[in-house]
Amino acid sequence: MKKIVRFFIFLFSWFVGMIIFKWNSLFFNNLNKPSFSLSLNTIKFILIFIYILVSISIYLTKEKTFEYKKILIINYFSNQVFPFLFFTLESIILGVISIFSILISSIFLYYESRSSKVSSKLFIPYILFNLYLCILLIFIFFMN
């Protein structure tokens, strides 16, 4: 039972930023976006799935070194602050910086969690989606 509770604490913690900070769809929809842009609802749905995978990966990682924990904190903080920077402050450049930080730290998390093959592989969709978001926000930055 403790393991299940621990997993759900990991899982819920990833949604704090999504819950606290309103995702301003009016702001997002009024931006000039490239043709490969997904809708905001689709992005949210994908993030829910990815946060589940990340939570499983964190839970499965047996060797949580100091480096792993430090990178995880950076990644977590960047994830939680992104909706505030991009949707509340409506700052595209701060959103780009935040998503770039998420991308870099997710790559390092993948690297640090490779002691468990399953755990590290669960980070692959996270990295790929963060890469997509980083490219998308860079395009949005230059188009607006």
Whether 27 maps to a domain, the answer reads no
* Euclidean distance between CA atoms 102 and 76, whole angstroms: 8
Mean pLDDT score of the chain, rounded to an integer? 93
Whether 70 maps to a domain, the answer reads yes
At 61 the pLDDT is 83
At 18 the pLDDT is 86
Mark out the alpha helices in 84-144 (DSSP H runs): 92-112, 117-121, 123-143
| Confidence grade of residue 47 (pLDDT, cut at 50, 70, 90) | very high
* Tokens of residue 140, six digits: 């949005």
Higher pLDDT, 104 or 8: 104
| Confidence grade of residue 4 (pLDDT, cut at 50, 70, 90) | confident
For residues 91 and 18, the answer to whether their CB atoms sit within 8 Å is: no
The fraction of the chain above a pLDDT of 70, given in percent, is 100
* 113-138 pLDDT, tens digit each: 888 889 999 999 999 999 999 999 99
The fraction of the chain above a pLDDT of 90, given in percent, is 72
Whether 56 maps to a domain, the answer reads yes
Residue in this structure with the two tokens 């402050």, named with its chain if needed? 89
* 21-42 pLDDT, tens digit each: 989 999 999 999 999 999 999 9
pLDDT of residue 87 exceeding 90, the answer is yes
- What is the pTM (predicted TM-score) of this model? 0.91
pLDDT of residue 7 exceeding 90, the answer is no
- Domain enclosing residue 68, as ranges: 2-17+37-143
Whether 52 maps to a domain, the answer reads yes
For residues 17 and 83, the answer to whether their CB atoms sit within 8 Å is: yes
Length of the chain: 144
Report the domain count for the chain. Answer: 1
At 5 the pLDDT is 87
Q: Which residues contact 11 (CB under 8 A, 6 or more apart)?
A: 51, 52, 55
